[in-house]
Amino acid sequence: MGIAYCALASGSSGNCHLIINKENKLLVDAGLSGKRIQNRLQEIGFDPKDLTGIFVTHEHNDHICGVGILSRRFNLPIYANGKTWEAMETKLGNIKSENIKIFDTEKPLFLGDLKVIPYEISHDAAEPVGYTFQEKDIKISITTDLGYVNEGILDKIKDSHLVVLESNHDIDMLKAGSYPYYLKRRILSDSGHLSNEAAGNAIVELVKNNVKNVILAHLSKENNFPELAMMTVKNILEINKISIGEDIIIDLAHRDKVSSIYAF
């Protein structure tokens, strides 16, 4: 079967990704209400009762607000590192002890044939991570909510069949926008969010490292819009003699609707 991916929601109002292989039906984050996540799963013909677990990237509410209810409703294990558990446990409600799965960042987990590697990223959370999911030679990576992309991250996500990459804001829109100064400073910092320009520069490096598909994710509602994110990335790629559609395929994840389903 390989691995399939679908973005159920992506943005500051809620984040949730679906990863499927033969043995596993996993959510990465559950930042919408349990009901909304169930509805979006059903939109793509997926029965929420078939879920087998939830992986959490970090404890911010737009990534965890549905985690507790889904775990209780479908008896799902929740995977997170120790510091993230400490930061989010009071927000989740009562979780069965057997569904508390604490891992060490950078240490692989094995769920049958699926290898999961949580890797360190820079964000203003307790111990935020991105994830790679790999079955044999098929690999999908999720890298959002980070202030910058460094060599360590590029090394983790290289050779991915699909990379879900943050393209949060346009720098000029953010600077000229209505956000208070402290919030602008946070977003622009090394522990904030990735700009369209930074995403474009990261994709240049990913193309050099055998990545063929990228989904731009976590776009800001106030400081970005899909056409601008795509245009900025395309311009950077063209400057570097990289052709969208030939050297790399770029798509978008949305806050208010599910994405296409990608299967490898």
pLDDT (0 to 100) of residue 180: 96
Element (H, E) at 229: helix 226-239
pLDDT (0 to 100) of residue 207: 98
For 257, residues 6+ apart whose C-beta sits below 8 A from its C-beta are: none
pLDDT (0 to 100) of residue 184: 97
Average pLDDT over residues 197-213: 98
pLDDT (0 to 100) of residue 210: 97
pLDDT (0 to 100) of residue 199: 98
Average pLDDT over residues 206-216: 97
- Domain count of the chain? 1
| pLDDT tier, 123 (very low <50, low <70, confident <90, very high otherwise) | very high
| pLDDT tier, 34 (very low <50, low <70, confident <90, very high otherwise) | very high
pLDDT (0 to 100) of residue 233: 98
For residue 37, what are the CA distances in angstroms to 97, 135, 148? 24, 25, 29
Residue 1 in this model has a pLDDT that exceeds 80: no
Average pLDDT over residues 124-148: 97
pLDDT (0 to 100) of residue 189: 97
pLDDT (0 to 100) of residue 248: 97
Enclosing domain of residue 74: 4-263
| pLDDT tier, 209 (very low <50, low <70, confident <90, very high otherwise) | very high
| pLDDT tier, 54 (very low <50, low <70, confident <90, very high otherwise) | very high
Q: What is the CATH number of the domain that holds 35?
A: 3.60.15.10
SS (H, E, C) 22-68: CCCEEEECCCCCHHHHHHHHHHCCCCHHHCCEEECCCCCHHHHCCHH
Residue 92 in this model has a pLDDT that exceeds 90: yes
Residue 15 tokens, joined: 């984040």
| Alpha-carbon span 2 to 45, nearest angstrom | 19
